[in-house]
């Protein structure tokens, strides 16, 4: 079977949507007719999406937020920042202006203070404390 032709045929018949939608059968779907309600996604697909999202965070942090610095941060600091950026998204992460400035200046005490002085800290205390504990290891 010619996979390119069947792919084109299915896309032509199903359409392709890159965000969630409700199909004509009332099922939550995504992509080219993927029925998420009944089928969901596999662990492999989940990890593929996760890796794409992780890479997006790493690129954003290393090229836009902390250019010329991010790759010099210790592994734990990088992981903490990627975790925060992943959870908060592009816009939410950038609201932590004082924290970002503190990391740029390598003032970890101030960065931790700013992490704690946020609504985020109270909304997700377990995660926040885990990330703060990682950063504290480098004081």
Q: Percent of the chain at pLDDT above 90? A: 100
Kindly state whether residues 27 and 61 are assigned to the same domain. Answer: no
pLDDT tens, 100-117? Answer: 999 999 999 999 999 999
* CATH code of 78's domain: 1.10.530.40
Kindly state whether residues 30 and 93 are assigned to the same domain. Answer: no
Kindly state whether residues 70 and 130 are assigned to the same domain. Answer: yes
Domains in the chain, number: 2
Q: Is residue 45 part of a domain?
A: no
Q: Is residue 27 part of a domain?
A: yes
Kindly state whether residues 91 and 122 are assigned to the same domain. Answer: yes
Q: Is residue 118 part of a domain?
A: yes
Kindly state whether residues 20 and 63 are assigned to the same domain. Answer: no
pLDDT tens, 88-99? Answer: 999 999 999 999
Tell me, what's the pLDDT at 2?
97
Q: Is residue 67 part of a domain?
A: yes
Q: What is the mean pLDDT of residues 114-122?
A: 98
Q: Is residue 70 part of a domain?
A: yes
Tell me, what's the pLDDT at 111?
98
pLDDT tens, 32-77? Answer: 999 999 999 999 999 999 999 999 999 999 999 999 999 999 999 9
Q: What is the CA radius of gyration of the chain?
A: 20
| Domain assignment of residue 10, given as a range | 3-35
């Amino acid at each position: 079977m010619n996979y390119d032709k069947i792919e084109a045929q299915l896309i032509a018949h199903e359409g392709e949507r890159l965000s969630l939608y409700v199909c004509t059968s009332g099922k939550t779907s995504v992509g080219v007719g993927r029925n998420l309600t009944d089928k969901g996604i596999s662990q492999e697909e989940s990890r593929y999406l996760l890796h794409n999202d992780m890479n997006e965070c790493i690129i954003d942090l290393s090229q836009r937020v902390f250019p010329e610095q991010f790759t010099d941060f210790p592994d734990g600091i990088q992981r903490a920042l990627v975790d925060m950026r992943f959870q908060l998204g592009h816009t939410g992460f950038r609201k932590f202006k004082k924290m970002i400035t503190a990391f740029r200046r390598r003032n970890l005490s101030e960065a931790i203070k700013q992490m704690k002085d946020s609504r985020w800290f109270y909304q997700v205390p377990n995660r926040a404390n885990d990330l703060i504990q990682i950063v504290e290891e480098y004081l």
